[in-house]
Amino acid sequence: MGKDVIIACDFDSKEATLSFLDNFKSEKPFVKIGMELFYAEGPSIVHEIKSRGHKIFLDLKLHDIPNTVKKAMSVLSGMDVDICNLHAAGTIDMMRAAIEGLTRLDGTRPLLIAVTQLTSTSEQRMREELLINESLENVVMRYAQNAKEAGLDGVVCSPLESGAVHSSCGGDFLTVTPGIRFSGADKGDQVRVTTPETARQLGSDYIVVGRPITAASAPVAAYERCVNEFVG
């Protein structure tokens, strides 16, 4: 795996997703399947997109007691995905249980990454509503260290935190970063955003881009702009 752009396919049906992916003729972008599409279509959508030649990040953000997450991950281990995830807030014990559940009998498993703080969360809301009285960067770094201690492969964070995560957890600990917007574009519900180019400069390993590509009038051109800015 190297630097890449992952498209968040936040659609509500298989038809809408496949018709979007049909826009791509020569390329096979890395695809993120999130809750909306997975809940609408179930595991068959993973198989369908994988069989078209795309890598898949299954973004279900598990967060429950260790035993429940372990069993859920064991089900996900049977799906041919490249990356899956959970919330680091579930604790180190939960993340360890997740790895156990995700690891197949032959010892292989998809990459597992942990959401630190959602890119829609501001430091002010984290302090006032979640009662976490720390800087956002400290919280992201501590959650990343917990994920590393549990044996995970990386974290989901904002590009703004990629440098700090790499410094504290090592350059090969993956930073997968949503919260991407083109220069001057509307942020929507995201708060901690950067452009693809800034994400590259800050050292993100992957950027996750949804609406700037899926809602663009020319989605392939928007994807290629992301690739050019991020990968070069």
Looking at the Cβ atoms of 103 and 127, the one nearer to ligand C5P is 127
Closest CA to 147 of 169, 118, 177, 117: 169
CB of 104 to ligand C5P, least distance (A): 25
Out of 5, 7, 10, 200, the only residue in the binding site for ligand C5P (CB under 6 A) is 10
Selecting among 3, 14, 50, 61, the annotated active-site residue is 61
Contacts of 116 (CB under 8 A, 6+ apart): 88, 139, 140, 143, 144, 147, 155, 156, 157, 161
User: Is residue 90 near ligand C5P by the rule CB under 6 A?
Assistant: no
User: Is residue 118 near ligand C5P by the rule CB under 6 A?
Assistant: yes
* Region binding ligand C5P by CB under 6 A among candidate stretches 94-102, 134-142, 165-173, 202-210: 202-210
CB of 151 to ligand C5P, least distance (A): 21
Out of 210, 222, 225, 230, the only residue in the binding site for ligand C5P (CB under 6 A) is 210
CB of 106 to ligand C5P, least distance (A): 30
Contacts of 159 (CB under 8 A, 6+ apart): 175, 177, 179, 180, 194, 198, 199, 202, 204, 207
- What are the two backbone dihedrals, phi and then psi, of residue 93, each rounded to the nearest 5 degrees? -60, -45
Dist. CA 197–CA 220, nearest whole Å: 18
User: Is residue 208 near ligand C5P by the rule CB under 6 A?
Assistant: yes
User: Is residue 115 near ligand C5P by the rule CB under 6 A?
Assistant: yes
Dist. CA 134–CA 122, nearest whole Å: 12
CB of 93 to ligand C5P, least distance (A): 22
User: Is residue 156 near ligand C5P by the rule CB under 6 A?
Assistant: yes
Closest CA to 206 of 169, 183, 166, 174: 174
Ranges within 15-54 binding ligand C5P (CB under 6 A): 34
CB of 212 to ligand C5P, least distance (A): 6
User: Is residue 101 near ligand C5P by the rule CB under 6 A?
Assistant: no
Closest residue to ligand C5P: CB criterion:
210
> Does residue 61 carry a catalytic annotation?
yes
| Footprint of ligand C5P (CB under 6 A) | 8, 10, 34, 59, 115, 118-119, 156, 178, 180, 188, 190, 208-212
- The residues assigned a catalytic role are 61
